[in-house]
Amino acid sequence: MRTFDIPEYFKSPIISRVKARRKALDARKLDFSPSILDFGAVRIQLARHFGFCFGVENAIEISYKAIFENTDKRIFLLSQMIHNPEVNEDLLSRGVKFLMDTSGREITPMSEVRSDDVVIIPAFGTTLETEAILNDIGVDVKKYDTTCPFVERVWKRSSQLGDDDFTVVIHGKPTHEETRATFSHASKRGSALIVSDREEAEILAEIMMGKRSKDEFSKIFSGRTSEGFDIETDLEKIGVVNQTTMIASETQEIAEILKTASTKFANTRDTLCYATNDNQRATLGALEDGSADLVIVVGGYNSSNTTHIVELCEEHKPTFFIRNELEWEENGSLNHFNIDTKRRDNYSDFLQGRPSNLPEKPTILITSGASCPDASMERVLLKILEKFPDAKDVESVLNNWES
């Protein structure tokens, strides 16, 4: 697989060694059990797969290339390049500015963009409407387009469905940049509809089979259908694609639900992202091990793929979602992001003095989403080890583990 040139400060010598060892032992990715590092006072499990995926590394490489090649120009990111605060904050520190926020609201008016400005398209891609505006201004939108190849694959499949008169049902978060972009591309070639979860899919299926009133359709899916969508004809032939960071199994469940209600259904299983699949399977593989006492998930709080990993973990173990090691306060408490309330909850004395609800030698599973730098994971690992002063040093543990 191709390697990318990304800044060294996003890398981790510790995590790199673990990943390299696992790859050497399991090149075909058949083993989804976690890597276990025994530090004596605490055992650390690292999920088999986590961290930057192909699409993220590609986006980072292109973005920093744009900065280094255009020191005399204004550089804009269409929106967050990926959903990780450390990466975006570093780009901002280098003079890059945002045109929009993650919901598509303007931060820098498009009217201020000039033809000689550099505009970086994020890994999520963008809508055809936004692309048209930039083209009209005269911006070369293709030069620094970091759209993930796996997102583009979804667009291609959507176009094929549209050309064959199938309605494209998109499983995704309606306000997410990638879902908005996929909806835009799909709507160009035919009818399209966004379904956010299994519950909505079940309602849609019942409407299609006449078990619910068609009036419910407009109430639930208002603003999420292509122009001129006709419920009488546009649901006869359907195919399901997904926002590539959703839970893969949920997309398949949604497809099966709608398949039973449709007259003709297209098989679109090939739109699932490999990295999302690998990370989720690795998370489940680690949880099936059963020995972890708690889980720490590291990543951006607005990262869809990371949030879904948190959801999977919360079903099995006490789970703490943190942006990075800075979520530990000086007093030892930890700020955990609650994905239900969208607020940070503070836990006092987290891992201080071996809490009574943990065994004498706890096992902690650490993982992250596809947009989290390995360097963040390393710093979290080292922060945890600080809570166990009797823990063995990292180098000796790695040497023993690799032997």
Sorted by where each starts, the structural domains of the chain and their CATH numbers stand as: 8-53+275-402 (3.40.1010.20), 54-137 (3.40.50.11270), 149-270 (3.40.1010.20)
Comparing CA positions, the residue from 25, 59, 350 lying closest to residue 33 is: 25
pLDDT 10s digits, 289-325? 889 999 999 999 999 999 999 999 999 999 999 999 9
Provide mean pLDDT across the span 130-158: 96
Provide mean pLDDT across the span 125-148: 96
Burial class of residue 206 in the structure, from the number of CB atoms within 10 Å of its CB (0-12 exposed, 13-18 middle, 19+ buried): middle
Tell me if residue 250 is catalytic: no
Whether the pLDDT of residue 133 is over 50: the answer is: yes
Q: What angle do CA 399, 400, 403 make, to 5 degrees?
A: 85
pLDDT 10s digits, 248-263? 889 989 999 999 999 9
Residues 374, 18 contacting (CB under 8 angstroms): no
Catalytic, out of 178, 311, 327, 378: 178
Provide mean pLDDT across the span 206-221: 93
The partner residues of 76 in beta bridges, in order of sequence, read 97, 119
Name the band, by pLDDT with cuts 50, 70 and 90, for residue 81.
confident
Q: How far apart are CA 152 and CA 163, in angstroms?
A: 16
pLDDT at position 352, please?
Answer: 63
pLDDT at position 80, please?
Answer: 87
pLDDT at position 316, please?
Answer: 94
Name the band, by pLDDT with cuts 50, 70 and 90, for residue 354.
very low
**Model-level pTM greater than 0.85?**
yes
pLDDT at position 1, please?
Answer: 61
**What SS3 class is residue 362?**
coil
Provide mean pLDDT across the span 9-30: 95
